[in-house]
Amino acid sequence: MAKLFQPTQAGDIALKNHIVMAPLTRNRSPGAIPNDMNVEYYRQRATAGLIITEATAITHQGQGYANVPGLYSKEALDGWKRVTDAVHAEGGKIVVQMWHVGRISHTALQPNGGKPVSSTNRIAKAKTYLVNADGTGGFTDTSEPRALETSEIPGIVEDYRKAARAAIDAGFDGVEIHGANGYLLDQFMRDGVNDRTDEYGGPIENRARLTFEVVEAVTREIGARRTAIRISPVTPSGESYDSNPQAIFTHVVEGLARYDLAYIHVVEGQTGGERDYRQGDNPSFDYKALRAAYKKAGGKAAWMVNNGYNRDMALEAVETGAADLVAFGKPFIANPDLVERLEKNLPLNTPDQSTFYGGTAKGYIDYPLLEKVA
């Protein structure tokens, strides 16, 4: 059996294979509460070595899209407990991706219609997803944010800590801190977004400070070996940009090496797009050098890769040791039994892109399984 399909370990989380279901926003949790459809969706995909949930807001302020789940109400946590119980009943493992969107939000989604918060008060040329009065959904421009006061930042860190504890209490096997795709932590890390003049802006060390404070708080609360983080060094999502991504993200992974984390999740290239994406005139990002810097600093977490991997690429990455875990996104949308299909090298269902965001069971929990195809 190829190594990709053999058991492995990510911190304290024992996995039955090296295949990971990537976080996928699906906008099917009205009121930020996981429901029966969500339970079935994740249960169907429990053959993955690890499921990473869709991005899940740590607070109401952290919400950026309509009908995405949260970690900040009893009803939401009760809903998530049903999800984790269902996945565990099928022998699966599941972690929650903890999310604060920062400026990628809209006043309609914020407490009391307030402005989204960020490292900056500059609006992102980006879109968010809202539900209209008639129940239909669609994408709209994000709202103008306000820069967080320095005095507010400890409260943000505390929100992450509380959410991590709530997640473990709801039955999750661990948490993944969302530090990617132009959301709050990424907004602080990148010099193309962060225009602060306090201790959270300017030099690389300052821009990485919030990420390290969050990692410190979460690992103290639930343990490092149940904590992971996602980064996307060059993705332009959320109008994110850095003049020297190799430098800032090398500093980040070297700092993360101080913690005995479960895994580091790296999006290679443009999230959902070009794997060799470049930012401006910068040369291609060196992901091998990034991992080498992490290892040289003493890091031992599993290294998870993501973005456009197919079966052959995943087999090679794990077999050669280029990666420990491979995350698949869109293939898991249309193939609940993706692991079996990959192992047997069978054809994959084609995802219906029109049902990706919002809607009903169609395109969510009705994709055919192998036994129904045969």
Distance of alpha carbon 211 from alpha carbon 256, whole angstroms: 9
CB atoms within 10 A of CB 162: 16
CB 351 within 8 A of CB 334: yes
Distances from the Cα of 48 to the Cα of 188, 268, 344, 367, angstroms: 32, 21, 15, 16
What percent of the residues of the chain are helix, what percent strand, and what percent coil, each to the nearest 5?
35, 15, 45
Q: With residue 325 as reference, give the H or E element that holds it.
A: strand 325-328
State how beta strands 8-10 and 13-15 pair.
antiparallel
End-to-end CA separation in angstroms for the chain: 24
Distances from the Cα of 2 to the Cα of 21, 163, 315, 320, 345, angstroms: 19, 37, 7, 11, 12
The amino acid sitting at 237 is: S
CB 98 within 8 A of CB 168: no
Q: Which two tokens stand for residue 43?
A: 């249960």
Distances from the Cα of 20 to the Cα of 53, 94, 288, 339, 372, angstroms: 11, 10, 20, 9, 24
Distance of alpha carbon 179 from alpha carbon 101, whole angstroms: 10
Active-site residue, 364 included = no
Gyration radius of the chain over CA positions:
19
**CA 285, 56, 326, 324 torsion-angle sign:** positive
CB 235 within 8 A of CB 269: yes
HEC letters along 216-240: HHHHHHHCHHHEEEEECCCCCHHHC
Distance of alpha carbon 221 from alpha carbon 179, whole angstroms: 18
Q: Which among 72, 129, 160, 183 is annotated as catalytic?
A: 183
Distance of alpha carbon 33 from alpha carbon 371, whole angstroms: 32
Q: Which two tokens stand for residue 137?
A: 């959904």
Active site residues: 183
